[in-house]
Structure 1
Amino acid sequence: MTFTGEFFMFFILALFAIGGAIFTISFTKVIHMAVSLAFTFLSLGGLYVMLEAEFVAFVQILIYAGAVSILMIFGIMMTKHQGDEEQPKRKLHNGLLLVGSVALFGILFYAIQQSVFPDQDLQIADNTRAIGEQLFTKYVIPFEIVSVLLTVAFVGAIIIAKREEE
């Protein structure tokens, strides 16, 4: 096995994605959770670029890392939060989290190293064109329904947040 730049970049992006996910469930402040989740989304976008799925990477960064993270931060800012309450020490939780993460990484690393992938001739296709054709022909109705649903959810969140102020 040769260690190339692509291998190291994958390894770094995978560590960032896993680290961001672990921080998302480990942090106690909601704003820190949202930022670490955005970090995970950006790392996944980088992994999609490495897979030569540029459109999916662009959508991942634009929609998830941008829009969803900003929406979550707006939701956090629009709701009331109590003052900083003393959080109980979670040494056992953090220890189990560390052990589970290292074990999962070890199992996945071993499984990937032992896997044998057959050599195939890759056919490079225009991903963006194929996705666009499918999205705006076969899946145009679900696409529009999702956009309306997201708009209604955002307006509903604003109305609920305004009611809490009164």
Structure 2
Amino acid sequence: MSGTFAAFFILSLMTIGGAVFMISFTRVVHMVVSLGVTFISIAGLFILLDAEFVAVSQILVYSGAISILMLFGIMLTKHNAVEDEGSKGVNRFFAFLIVAVFFGLCFYGIQNTIWPEPAQTAPNAPSNVEQIGTEVFTKFVIPFELLSVLLLVALVGAIIMAKKESDSE
């Protein structure tokens, strides 16, 4: 067993465990924390795939910004902590059954797939950050700029909506 395989196994278990905990916890703050564990584990998997830029982006955007945004949303909104206990056992059984069937199908598909040998990279190959930058700022510069304008419009719209809400109170 190599170190890469052990790291992949541990990160995979953390990713799956974080996702399972996220859907099984009842307190929203615990859900956000387990979602953060899932995001960081996925970033570790990206590092194993030699995609360091994507891993750092995953940590900054998802683990940092999205988790903090969700926590602020939880703290700033009113939510009822009462839980319906009526059909919890039946729902859990069907959820477990669906997950078990999905796991079996995925396992069968992975075991019966013929995987190609990984390609060897050239010794003077540019880093993936350089490749991403070249692609974004040559071929995709117009969509990149349109996305920045769209995000700016969404930010201004959110500010206007929040201002109207606070003025009406």
Q: How high is the TM-score relative to the length of structure 1?
A: 0.77
Q: Quick one: distance in 2 between partners of 1:31 and 1:154?
A: 25
The alpha-carbon deviation at position 79 of structure 1 amounts to: 1.7
Q: Taking structure 2 as the reference length, what is the TM-score of the superposition?
A: 0.76
**Unaligned 5+ residue runs, structure 2?**
none
- 1:50 corresponds in structure 2 to 48
Say what the alpha-carbon RMSD is for the aligned residues: 2.9
Residue 76 and residue 159 in structure 1: after superposition, are their counterparts in 2 closer, same or farther (change >3 A)? farther
Mark the CA change 1:97 to 1:154 in structure 2 (over 3 Å): closer, same or farther: farther
Partners of 1:160 and 1:75 lie apart in 2 by 14
- From 107, 120, 143, the equivalent of 2:105 is 107
- 2:68 paired residue among 47, 67, 70: 70
Alignment of 1:72-111 (within 5 A): 72-82=70-80, 84-88=81-85, 90-111=88-109
Gaps of 5+ in 1: none
Indicate the residue corresponding to 2:13 in structure 1: 15
Secondary structure of the equivalent of 2:117?
coil
CA contact (8 A) 1:79 1:161 kept: no
**Aligned 8 A contact 1:48 1:56 in 2:** yes
More divergent stretch after superposition (53-62 vs 89-98): 89-98
Q: 2-side partners of 1:158 and 1:27: how far apart? A: 35
SS of residue matched to 2:6: helix
Q: How many residues align?
A: 163
Is 2:136 aligned against 1:138? no
Equivalent position amino acid for 1:136 in 2:
F
Q: Deviations over 1:94-139 (max 9, x none)?
A: 2333343344334333432333323354225421101011122322
Larger radius of gyration: 2
1:117 aligns with 115
Letter in 1 for 2:133: G
Listed as ranges, the matches of 1:139-158 within 5 Å are: 139-153=140-154, 156=158
Q: Which moved more, 1:142-151 or 1:13-22?
A: 142-151
Q: Which moved more, 1:34-43 or 1:108-117?
A: 108-117
> C-alpha displacement at 1:39, in angstroms?
1.6
Deviation at 1:71, TM superposition (A): 1.4
CA distance, structure 2, for counterparts of residue 6 and residue 45 of structure 1: 15
1:18–1:40 CA contact under 8 A, matched in 2:
yes
Structure 1 residue 80, shift from structure 2 partner: 2.0
Q: Distance in 2 between matches of 1:55 and 1:163?
A: 39
**Corresponding residue of 1:5:** 3
Q: Is the 8 A contact 1:17 1:44 kept in 2?
A: yes
Change (3 A) 1:60 1:76: same
